[in-house]
Amino acid sequence: MAKVEIYTKATCPFCIRAKKLLDMKGVDYEEHEISGGGARREEMIQRADGRTTVPQIFIDDRHLGGCDDLMRLEMEGQLDEMLQAA
């Protein structure tokens, strides 16, 4: 299974939606909660090519994007393949 990381904020509805999809698929992921800002937020911005919105999702250290990107991959039938690629 691929390594999945997701940067989130506690009250973000898009974060909740993305995590719900991953949970439904039985995906283990590492969540980085950045509501308070700080070093983790700066790390996310650097890894996500300057993007400051959440969630930011990474699969095997490859930047996937946000919730809409995750949902698009699921609708196109590509997400499962990416999750199994490790």
- Check residue 59 and give its pLDDT: 96
Structure tokens at 36: 């308070």
Q: CA–CA separation, 53 vs 67, rounded Å?
A: 10
Q: Output Rg (C-alpha) for the chain, integer angstroms.
A: 12
- Check residue 86 and give its pLDDT: 54
Q: CA–CA separation, 74 vs 48, rounded Å?
A: 20
Q: CA–CA separation, 6 vs 17, rounded Å?
A: 12
Question: What is the per-residue pLDDT across 21-74, written as a single tens digit (0 to 9) for each?
Answer: 999 999 999 999 999 999 999 999 999 999 999 999 999 999 999 999 999 999
Task: Give me the domains of the chain, ranges plus CATH numbers.
Answer: 4-84 (3.40.30.10)
- Check residue 1 and give its pLDDT: 83
